[in-house]
Amino acid sequence: MYKVFTFFYGSYINLKVLNEVNIYLENWEAARLPGFDIVIKPYANLFKSAKDCVYGILTQLDHEELKRLYSHAEKVFNELYQPEAVLVQTLGDKWVSALCYICHNMEERPAEKNYIDRIVQPAKEYGFPGWYIEKLESFSK
């Protein structure tokens, strides 16, 4: 099965969350997406911002895995995330075009602390910058 590069930035940076829907990554690396900013209200989502960047992981999945993953997200979160082509920079300074899933009509409301913790913990493990970790944590206040 053909695999495509995919950039995850929310709870899908947490390998345990992916495992819950039978997605097991063979390879991944920390990366950043310039030109976007993150919001977690109530779920992680991106919006364009010329002055910001978002940290996450770059991996490869096949289209069937992506369909299964985001169909599950739609059922659980009741939000439709759609793929967009983006240009991601790995922390090793390699540029890769990838798919990134964004919800264009999420109704903003407070995030649950447990959800944010599922993002913050792996973000720390991946070595994302301290300012970025603080930003993620700020959504639980």
Q: Is the CATH code 3.30.200.20 the one for domain 3-138? A: no
Alpha carbons within 13 A on the beta-carbon side of 83? 14
pLDDT of residue 55: 98
Mean pLDDT of 76-94: 95
Q: CA distances (Å), 64 to each of 1, 68, 71, 121, in order? A: 9, 6, 10, 28
Cβ neighbors of 6 (< 8 A, separation 6 or more) are 58, 59, 60, 61, 66, 98, 99, 100, 101
Q: Which residues pair with 34 in a beta bridge?
A: 53
Q: Are 97 and 87 in contact (CB under 8 A)?
A: yes
Domain residue extents for the chain: 3-138
Local confidence band at 1 (pLDDT 50, 70, 90 cut-offs) = confident
| pLDDT, tens digit (0-9, with 9 covering 90-100), for 20-73 | 999 999 999 999 999 999 999 999 999 999 999 999 999 999 999 999 999 999
pLDDT of residue 128: 97
Flag whether pLDDT at 99 surpasses 80.
Answer: yes
Mean pLDDT of 76-98: 96
| pLDDT, tens digit (0-9, with 9 covering 90-100), for 110-133 | 999 999 999 999 999 999 999 999
pLDDT of residue 141: 67
